[in-house]
Chain A
Amino acid sequence: MPALGAVVLGIGAYPPSAAGEGIPALQFPAKDAEAFAAYLRACWPEPDMVLRLLPEAGGTGLALRRAFDEIAARGRFDLFVVYLSGHGVASPETTGFLAQPEPGAGAPQVVAAAELDRLLRAVDARRTIFILDCCFAEAVVRGMPFFTELDDSEARLFIASSRANQFTWEDERAGHGVFTAHMLDLLNTGSAARLGGVRDQVLVDAELFPFLCEQVPLYVLEHKGARQEPVKGGVSTGEVTLPVARAARRLQDRSTLGTALRRVRQILVGIGGASVVGIALVYTLLWYPQLDRNGEIVLLHGAAWLEPILRYAPSGRVHTGLRLEDLSPDPAMRQAIQSGSLTGVWTHVSRDGHRSWYDRLRPGLDPAAAQRADALAGLSPAGRPRGNPDSPSEVARAAWSRLSEPDAATLAWVLQAIPGADRRSPLVTRFDPNLVDFTIDDRTARQMQDYAAALRAAAMVDPDRTLPVYLGFLKATQEWLGQNTDAQRGGGSHEAVAEATASVLPVIASARRDRGLAPVDPATATALTALAANGYFETAGRALAQVNGAAPPAGDVARIALARFQGDPFDEGQLQALRVLTGTLDGSADGKALTTGVLASFDRAGRSEDSFRTKFLIDAADRRALPPAVISELLAGARAALRRPDPDFMDQERARILAHGMRDIPAPDRPTVYALIARVAAGITPRSGTLAEIYGALGAQGLAPPGMLEKVAAQAAALPQRPRYQSPGEENPGMTIVVGGPIWAVALAQFAKTRSLDVKSLEVLQRFADDPDVAPLVQAALAGRGGTAGLQCDRTRCSGLPARAPQDTRARQLDADLAAINLAQQPAGAFRQALSTLRKLRAAEIEPEYRMALGRLIVGAQVQRSAPRAVGQEEF
């Protein structure tokens, strides 16, 4: 009898017309069948074997039956092997192997278990092995009673590729179905780790099947993440073996531990990938606050607990412009910000249309800082509480906030809170030094200054409503000055309060001038003059003296001041008079006459070389109030100094005065002054503040000799910012010694008044742009000489807006300050239009830090416009 009969069929592809849903094509069944047939051919020579390898395309049910019939017709076989590879079908309706459709038929044919059972019975063989490689293979074979009885055979065995409810898989790496690949690997090589060597024969039950049970599930779990467990069954009276074809191994042996470790690695990679996605989402969506090394509150990407990971990524979102000192004094309130535990979602927007991080930070801020920030950001509408009217600081803040958002009700509230209302009528009264009013006299200097600040802010918004309130407050301040001394209130408090009160009138005057009105109406000027003559000199007189363009009344005040000044500036009253006199100086004949009068007073008092005299002459020179006689005297002194072999301290003073008055020195005499300056420069350190002052004064007038600007720029660039050193007591302004960068930055800024500076010089100025001592001058220089483009606004938009610079608060705020300076210089109509447009743009802005920058611009522009610096007050 022939040794082997075999029917081999592998179907992976179905004709297109028959293809339908749920029947995907398979890659390897045909190849599986070819490989199995090759194994059979290798192990059984041709005459001993009857093999029917059905073609894939012709693998119909009819063809299968014919193949079985042909085998059966050849008589009894020693071994009959059936190998089927392809799709399996398992459903309540039918279970079987999916064959090709018959010609002319549409759908593929299911060769059911019963049909297979009948076909197997038709072939007479001593031993039968049925190998089924398809999904749900166990479901197919369990419906075949062929394997439950031997009849006259010795063995009837089946090996199914998977359980009844499991898929059977093929894999590109194996190049076959996984089950067939492993089976062929063992049958072709005879080698496996569990066999402990190479065999010539493999026991189907004891060796082949355990090998498949071990390796197939591991392979499928590792590569498909699924379960596939081969199933065997049948009956036999003895062992059944299959020969080994002795070919090279193709598959690697797997161990359970190795597969488990690989699976764990796959899971960990999946978790890692999900974690990366999660971290990316947190990084993108969330923010948390932190204090940077400069003490500013910055917002970072992500959350504080992810900081150890996110520190390696760009983490800065925005520099808020809020600082450590803005935090609430209550540790419980500030803790969330300081610790970074506060977290929010970046995309959240508040009702007002700005990002909600501001609302989240706000509770942790000091109330005053929060009010200020609200005002800048345009978030304090009329309805919000204004504060305590009995607190001058809150009144001042409320007044200041109205610059950002005009509100008539708040203005009225502010003006009502200012003391002195009962002193307005009658207005002109004689000052009574014995009058005691504790509601005024017990105020601190800071409180009085706060009231003055409130009046300045109110004046910018509505000067005419502010003026009467101011007049009452002015009288109250004089009373306060009369009842309080520096010993009681602190050094310099007297002067600070007097100056603060006096400085309100120039703001009123500027605001009125901006509205096309006279700076001070005649009635008010007359009243102030009368008050100055009746004991209110320190306040009314000083205020009137600071108003440019109030000529006749200012002249009257000057005469009163000249009468008071007897040449002794160390007397408080005379010092006040000297300050008033300085404020009234101008280039008119009266102004020059005043200068002569003051110098005569100094001379009568024997103070011809007094530092206050020098300072007065410098101020007079700045105001072009030096009489020709004084200039001649100074020039004579310069010539004498140049003839002397040794320098004299007064040479420096003379050089300073002449430098400031260079415009008024006849051109032929200017070389003498330059020579004196050069002599002075040779005798002192090149870093001296005196030289900075002299060079700066010349630069401001456009009369600096060649090379001077370069010296100034070099000095300004060379030194870092240092703290200012003051001599004991500021009563001797001439003795102030200033070294370091800022004073030279001021000198450089002076040059910017008359010429354009190069890029390097502008960069130097930018370094000092936020130094509080010199910021106004430096920023004016930057704004006027290429520091920033002009701001232009129409009804709906503006060009030349400050840079957004979300991560550079300094740049953002400096840009806003420079834009404010530019805006303040525009004509009145354009200015008011720009303010209105800027407020609209701010209301539509989503970024809170930029809202605050726009608010800074809005407020700053009004401050710049309404409070111009008096000539000569600024520099030295």
Chain B
Amino acid sequence: MVLEGALAVAGGGCAGGAVAELLHWWNLRQSTQIPDYAKSLFYWSLTVLMVLAGGVVTWLYFGEHAEALVALHVGISTPLILQKLVTSVPEKPGAKNVITKPAPTVRRFFTW
């Protein structure tokens, strides 16, 4: 199936991004910070941004014509790559703390 038109192609990518984010939130269900994430507009905004990023990158790759399955794959991979990039930034060493319930952070949100 071929997607025609920029919106359709971006939509296919967004669909892939949504699949990735659904999986992301499912994997966060056992995280101690899940109540904070679920109630925070900030983290939901990040989720939406990841979905949209999937659409944008798919459009950048293909423009106005794309195989639907390939667009979906590119949309899935975009949030995964972006989140991996964020979590690969080294943390500053030397914090003298033990956190039994760590606070929610973007880095922890993207670690799943």
Partners in one complex: yes
Using a CB–CB cutoff of 8 Å, the interface residues on chain A facing chain B are 22-24, 26-27, 29, 85-91, 93, 98, 133-136, 161, 167-172, 177, 224-226, 285, 345, 347-351, 356
Chain B residues, Cβ within 8 Å of A285? 60
**B104 interfacial contact with A, CB 8 Å:** no
Which residue on chain B has the smallest CB distance to residue A223?
Answer: B92
Interface centre among B60, B95, B101 (most CB of A within 10 A): B95
In the complex, the answer to whether A98 meets B98 with C-beta atoms within 8 Å is yes
Contact partner of A89 among B65, B92, B95, B100, CB < 8 A? Answer: B100
Q: Are B60 and A356 in contact (CB under 8 A)?
A: no
CB proximity to A under 8 Å, residues B66-107: 92, 94-102
What are 12 of the A-B contact pairs (CB < 8 Å)? Answer: A23-B98, A29-B96, A87-B98, A90-B97, A134-B96, A134-B97, A136-B97, A167-B96, A226-B92, A350-B64, A350-B65, A351-B64
Contact B94 A171 (CB under 8 A): yes
Chain A residues within an 8 Å CB radius of B95:
24, 135, 167-169
- Shortest CB-to-CB span from A95 to chain B, Å, is 11
Q: Are B65 and A170 in contact (CB under 8 A)?
A: no
Q: Chain B residues with Cβ under 8 A from A170's Cβ? A: 94, 96
Task: Determine the chain B residues whose CB is within 8 A of the CB of A27 once the complex forms.
Answer: 94
Q: In the complex, which residues of chain A have a beta carbon less than 8 angstroms from the beta carbon of B102? A: 22
Q: Does B42 lie at the interface of the complex (its beta carbon under 8 Å from any beta carbon of A)?
A: no
Contacts A345-B60, A347-B60: A22 and B65 contacting too (C-beta < 8 A)?
no
Asked if A91 and B101 sit within 8 Å, CB to CB, the answer is: yes
Option from A22, A161, A171, A351 in Cβ contact (under 8 Å) with B98: A22
Q: Are B96 and A135 in contact (CB under 8 A)?
A: yes
Rounded to whole Å, the gap between the CB of B75 and the closest CB of chain A is: 16
Assess whether B110 is interfacial by the CB under 8 Å rule.
Answer: no
Residue from the list A24, A168, A225 in contact with B92, Cβ < 8 A:
A225
Shortest distance from the beta carbon of B31 to any chain A beta carbon, whole Å? 13
A93 adjacent to B100 (CB under 8 Å): yes
In the complex, the chain A residue whose C-beta lies closest to that of B63 is A348
Query: How many whole Å from B62's CB to the nearest CB in chain A?
Result: 7
Are the C-beta atoms of B97 and A87 separated by less than 8 Å? yes
What chain A residues lie within 8 Å of B100 (beta carbons)? Answer: 22, 89, 91, 93
Most interface-central of A88, A98, A169 (chain B CB within 10 A): A169
| Chain B residues, CB < 8 A from A22 | 98-100, 102
Question: Whole-angstrom distance from the CB of B57 to the nearest CB of chain A?
Answer: 10
B112 interface residue (CB < 8 Å to A) = no
Q: Is B44 an interface residue (CB 8 A)?
A: no
Q: How far is A4 from B32 in the complex, measured between Cα atoms in Å?
A: 46
Q: Which residue of B lies closest to A162 (CB)?
A: B96
Q: Are A26 and B101 in contact (CB under 8 A)?
A: no
**Number of contact residues on B: which range applies?**
10 to 19
Considering the complex, give the chain A residue whose CB is closest to the CB of B6: A348
Name the A residues within 8 Å of B94 (CB-CB): 26-27, 169-172, 224
The 5 closest A-B pairs by CB, nearest first: A348-B63, A135-B97, A170-B94, A167-B95, A91-B100
Q: Mark B37-69, 1 if CB is under 8 A from A, else 0.
A: 000000000000000000000001111110000
How far apart sit A579 and B100, CA to CA, in the bound complex (Å)?
105
The reply to whether A88 and B96 form a contact with Cβ atoms under 8 Å apart is yes
Say whether A88 contacts B97, CB under 8 Å.
Answer: yes
- Give A178 Cβ to nearest chain B Cβ, in Å: 8
Question: Smallest CB-CB separation from B65: which chain A residue?
Answer: A351
CB distance from A183 to the nearest CB of B (A): 15
In the bound complex, residues from chain A placing their C-beta under 8 Å from that of B92 are 169, 224-226
- Residues of chain B within 8 A (CB-CB) of A87 are 96-98
Give complex CA distance A88, B62 in Å.
53
Q: With a CB–CB cut-off of 8 A, which chain B residues contact A86? A: 96
Q: Could you tell me which residues of chain B, from 1 to 15, have a CB within 8 Å of some CB in chain A? A: 4
Cα A133 to Cα B95 in complex, Å, equals 11
Q: For residue B99, which residues in chain A have a CB less than 8 angstroms away from its CB?
A: 22, 91
Give which listed residue, B61, B64, B98, contacts A88 with CB less than 8 A: B98
| Residue ID in chain A nearest B92 by CB atoms | A224
- A88 contacts across to B, CB distance below 8 A: 96-98
Q: Which residues from B are CB-within-8-Å of A135?
A: 95-98
Residue of B nearest to A12 (CB): B96
Q: B60 — which chain A residues lie within 8 A by C-beta?
A: 285, 345, 347
Is A348 in contact with B62, judged by CB distance below 8 angstroms?
yes
List the A side residues contacting B96 at CB < 8 Å: 26, 29, 85-88, 133-135, 161, 167-170, 177
Closest residue of B by beta carbon distance from A137: B96
Q: Nearest residue in B to A108 (C-beta to C-beta)?
A: B98
State in angstroms the CA–CA spacing of A558 and B90 once bound together: 93
Instruction: Select from chain A the residue with minimum beta-carbon distance to B102.
Output: A22
Q: Given the complex, which residues of B lie within 8 Å of A225, measured CB to CB?
A: 92
- The CA-CA distance from A98 to B99 in the complex, in Å, is 11
Distance (whole angstroms) from the CB of B51 to the closest CB of chain A: 20
Tell which of A89, A167, A347, A350 touches B61, judged by Cβ atoms closer than 8 Å.
A347
Please, which residues of chain B bring their CB within 8 A of the CB of A134? 96-97
Q: Give the shortest distance, in Å, between B47 (CB) and chain A (any CB).
A: 23
Is B63 touching A349 in the complex (CB atoms < 8 A)?
yes
Chain A residues with Cβ below 8 Å from B65 are: 349-351
Additional A-B contact list (17), CB under 8 Å, known A88-B98, A91-B100, A167-B97: A22-B102, A27-B94, A85-B96, A87-B97, A88-B96, A89-B98, A133-B96, A134-B96, A134-B97, A135-B96, A167-B95, A168-B97, A169-B96, A170-B96, A171-B94, A349-B63, A351-B65
